[in-house]
Structure 1
């Protein structure tokens, strides 16, 4: 089994299947084919600028994969799904990193940070990918998605950037509150920890009131449910607290 990091960007258009959904499908496909295991998909916010084409939020989607598949096999299956599911007007990019290989993690993370505040180029992305032995490929349109795909790898490597794609479901409805212990939350979701917005780790027997959209983040190289204290009660953090991720 080898450990891989895989990121895609710019696969969608208005009214089509989102990049996050396609990333989840690829993660599940690769895990099922190989008997491996894929992580949650994380969404990484990139620079929003008039010179950067994007559908709605300009975010890349990344996941880790533990699998016996070779890089060529991962690429083959992922590309086939990208081509089949990406929107006709999209500019998809795919990046695949062997986490066990020798590469300059600092350079990759720096590229990710820059992509949050600068307009970067395809040439810069391809040059860095070649230096780091990362497979970086484009699959339609202008191929601009390779920039975000490479940046997403770097941001995921940082360990404290990105939200987990979608909502965390625990049987609750958005307009109905549900109270659970931290231990129950972790067991039912597969998350790693429950933490306050001040970075305080909650104990297994602490209780949390869940209501509305329950979302997790990637923090300290863990998948974390963020919570706030409200009238002596822990509850899932709101939109404002999650915006930093």
Structure 2
């Protein structure tokens, strides 16, 4: 059973981002659990919502972790987040086994991409579903985004991978075959053509960012003047 670790609003404008913290936490959890990947999910950008730069949350996917380990995982991550607390941030943490993530929570996640939601609704949802949720400083507004992250990650058709397999070790232009061997299931152009070979162009020093789509890890590319260029989707 997959366990999801969701965190939001852990940074300020001058600090490391939530994605970087999530990767550090994933590395620590990997000593005991099978880390499938880390996803980033874009939430609603609106002047009524205080956010740091992009209003996104990050979710760590732990395969076969089991519901019995949720409390221990929560405690480990909570301690790491408190130790790395950034002044001016409003972090939230939510941890749940996949069996706790119902259609109501997936709908909450979807709503968080286009609607202003409240802490009250997030906390009520967590209580009713038996999900471990806590605000870890500041206004604690991060509880909204981290609950949304659980629903979006489990739905499996949102966001992009910040980490999966060995893709972070491959930066800049790379052969499609190398990317497929590193943990990407398939590469497709935006108009639906599969790409099995050739060079995929990416920003120098940066790794590609595949997306979860229907249970697959998919890298989307765009053909520009005969070149296949990796696309970073929200």
**Residue of structure 1 in register with 2:212 after alignment:** 218
Cα displacement (A) at 1:171: 4.8
Change (3 A) 1:230 1:17: closer
**Residue of structure 2 in register with 1:88 after alignment:** 87
Please give the secondary structure, in 1, of the residue aligned with 2:28.
Answer: helix
In structure 2, runs of 5+ residues without a counterpart are none
In structure 1, runs of 5+ residues without a counterpart are none
Cα displacement (A) at 1:170: 5.8
**Residue of structure 1 in register with 2:111 after alignment:** 114
**Residue of structure 1 in register with 2:195 after alignment:** 202
What's the C-alpha RMSD, in Å, of the aligned pairs? 2.2
Aligned length: 227
Question: Would you identify which runs of 4 or more consecutive aligned residues in structure 1 move more than 6 Å?
Answer: none
Please give the secondary structure, in 2, of the residue aligned with 1:209.
Answer: strand
Change (3 A) 1:94 1:172: closer
Change (3 A) 1:231 1:50: closer
Cα displacement (A) at 1:81: 0.5
Please give the secondary structure, in 1, of the residue aligned with 2:106.
Answer: helix
2:149 aligned with 1:152, yes or no?
A: yes
Please give the secondary structure, in 1, of the residue aligned with 2:30.
Answer: helix
Asked whether the 8 Å contact 1:197–1:237 carries over to 2, the reply is: no
Q: How does 1:13-162 map to 2 (within 5 A)?
A: 13-32=12-31, 34=32, 36-66=33-63, 67=65, 70-99=69-98, 101=99, 103=100, 105-162=102-159
TM-score scaled by length of structure 1: 0.84
Q: Which whole-Å CA distance do the structure 1 matches of 2:61 and 2:199 have between them? A: 28
Change (3 A) 1:51 1:171: closer
- Residues 1-20 of structure 1, C-alpha deviation per residue, up to 9 Å, x if partnerless? x4201110000011112100
**Residue of structure 1 in register with 2:179 after alignment:** 185
TM-score scaled by length of structure 2: 0.87
Please give the secondary structure, in 1, of the residue aligned with 2:37.
Answer: coil
Cα displacement (A) at 1:124: 0.3
Change (3 A) 1:170 1:65: closer
Cα displacement (A) at 1:229: 2.8
Please give the secondary structure, in 2, of the residue aligned with 1:165.
Answer: strand
Q: Which whole-Å CA distance do the structure 2 matches of 1:151 and 1:65 have between them? A: 17
Q: Which whole-Å CA distance do the structure 1 matches of 2:71 and 2:160 have between them? A: 29
